[in-house]
Amino acid sequence: ELKVEQNPLFLSMQEGKNYTIYCNYSTTSDRLYWYRQDPGKSLESLFVLLSNGAVKQEGRLMASLDTKARLSTLHITAAVHDLSATYFCAVDMYSGGGADGLTFGKGTHLIIQP
């Protein structure tokens, strides 16, 4: 059974600071997604990481994927209040001959304080 673990699950940080969210998964996969969710809202796709060593950046967020370590990171640079949300990583097993559907981590609830 695929396990996806995120840490931290809760993060309170100040504006202007940098921080990293980690996503570990238990089985081989080369396709990983990061989503943002605001309270009561849907899942907004942030990044699609498709291969080992993939790195993508959008504004103050940068995501990377190390398939050998089964680890993805979401790095926040110079955080601003608008980035406060819950961030989920999700692993896709399908291309590895695994089950259909995404397996999500528990999410990281991020609060950025002025």
Cβ burial, residue 40 (10 Å; 0-12/13-18/19+) = exposed
Q: What angle do CA 39, 89, 72 make, to 5 degrees?
A: 140
Residue 95 binds other proteins, judged by CB under 8 A: yes
Can residue 54 be called a binding residue for other proteins (CB under 8 A)? no
Q: Estimate to the nearest angstrom the gap between the alpha carbon of 63 and the chain centroid.
A: 7
Site membership for other proteins, residue 31 (CB under 8 A): yes
Tell me which residues in 57-86 interact with other proteins (CB under 8 A). Answer: none
Nearer to other proteins, 64 or 103 (CB): 103
Residue 44 token pair: 């907004």
Name the site residues for other proteins (rule: CB under 8 A). 31, 33, 40-43, 45, 48, 88, 90, 92, 94-95, 99-107
